[in-house]
Amino acid sequence: MSSLRPSSAIFDPPGAVEISRANGPFFNPNYFAIFLGLAMVIALSLAATGGRMSLLALACIPIGAALVLTFSRGALLATGVGVVVLVWSRSRVAGVLLAGIAIVVLVAVIPSILAVREGPSFVPPPSDLRDEISDLGRFEAMLSAFPVWSMDPLFGIGLGQYGAESAWFVRSSPATSSHNEYLSILAEQGLLGVAVFGTLAGLVTLRIGRGGRWSRAVGLAPLAAFAAGWMMIEPLASLQTSGLVWLVVGAVGGAATMSVRAPAAVPQRGAQEVPRSRPAIAVRALAR
């Protein structure tokens, strides 16, 4: 008989002194946390458009609870950035005030998250050398992007090669991934890849920003949360993590650009573009 419990599919196995962290169907609690954070920001963005979609705000209660159980610092930061951008898009003053409150809360909460995540034997920094070594290892893996990038500054070392090459520069931890999507793009695709990717991201953001109130309200906050999450994790490596954002980008992008011609029966002198409801266009685009 297997000794696996139902909760083993929700929580990863605890270590010697660490508690279990929610990871859901993901192999890593941090990726699950980013997924939850993006889902929460998307739900709040849709709820902010009003109408019946405001019921989506109720979904944020279980999503937020699961997000807390992942004990992921990066995901909490990304979610906070997305919420601040959402509020700022509706009220500049409220957005600035919320940003200040969020900074204070994060500074106060992160040490407590570390204490709970590491278990009863945890001693807050700087006394806990093990936690310092863990963070130092990630920091070294992140900084190794620059010597790796110097191998081929223009074209990069190739997709998926970061972990193998960075191992030569990391000494304090077995972690060899960059934990930073921006640095991964720089090292693996070089300056050419950064230029192409940056141009594409800029054009998408600009189109959404100019696409009307609904497109901005729904699209900008999730993009901001996604961009913030790139600072501490590599969501592009997981379609599960990034899939929600691509659906939102496609929906709001379609809503920002699509229009249909007026019916032929309507008297008109020439071709005429008739705007349609952006939410209706987005829903129709996703249905296809």
pLDDT in tens, the chain (288 residues): 344 444 445 665 555 445 578 888 887 888 899 999 999 999 999 888 876 666 777 878 889 888 988 888 889 889 999 999 999 988 888 888 988 888 887 777 666 665 655 554 444 444 444 444 466 777 888 888 999 999 999 999 998 888 888 888 877 666 778 889 999 999 999 999 999 999 999 998 888 888 778 888 889 999 999 999 998 888 887 788 888 898 998 888 777 766 444 445 555 555 454 455 555 555 555 545
Query: Exposed, middle or buried, 52 (CB in 10 Å: 0-12/13-18/19+)?
Result: exposed
Say which residue the tokens 């959402």 belong to.
Answer: 86
How far is 59 from 80, CA to CA, in rounded Å?
A: 17
Residues 250-282: b if buried by 16+ CB within 10 A, e if exposed: ebbbbbbeeeeeeeeeeeeeeeeeeeeebbebb
3 state SS of 22:
strand
How far is 185 from 149, CA to CA, in rounded Å?
A: 9
